[in-house]
């Protein structure tokens, strides 16, 4: 059996105080997630990143905006899985 870490929606929309999806107090949780990600990478786990994207006319999760990007230090590395989810499915 292989271990996998799935990181869901760790995107700038949630850490930017001027955005409607901003989560006040998210930073301690992000630090825990970052520690887990570092350890999982060290142990050779499969890493899967899930990103929410809306259409290009959306005010949130717009793929053309920096807010839809992964939070710094959570960007996928080469060989890690990336899945895109949206409201159309």
Helix (H) or strand (E) holding 40: helix 27-42
Bridge partners of residue 85, in order along the sequence: 52
Residue in the structure block whose two tokens are 């825990």? 32
pLDDT tens digits along 64-79: 999 999 999 999 999 9
pLDDT tens digits along 17-29: 999 999 999 999 9
CATH architecture of the domain formed by 4-85: 3-Layer(aba) Sandwich (3.40)
In 3D space, the residue among 12, 16, 10 whose CA is nearest the CA of residue 32 turns out to be 10
Res. 89 pLDDT band, cuts 50 70 90: low
Domain borders along the chain are: 4-85
Predicted TM-score (pTM) of this structure: 0.91
79, 44 Cβ separation under 8 angstroms: no
Q: Order of strands across the sheet with 46-52?
A: 4-8, 46-52, 81-85
């Amino acid at each position: 059996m292989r271990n996998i870490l799935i990181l869901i929606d760790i995107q700038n929309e949630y850490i930017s105080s001027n955005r409607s999806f901003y989560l006040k107090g998210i930073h301690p949780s992000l630090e825990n997630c970052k520690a887990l990600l570092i350890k999982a990478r060290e142990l050779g786990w499969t890493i899967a990143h899930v990103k929410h994207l809306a259409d290009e006319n959306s005010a949130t999760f717009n793929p053309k905006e920096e807010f839809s990007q992964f939070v710094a230090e959570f960007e996928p590395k080469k060989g890690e899985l990336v899945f895109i989810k949206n409201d159309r499915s």
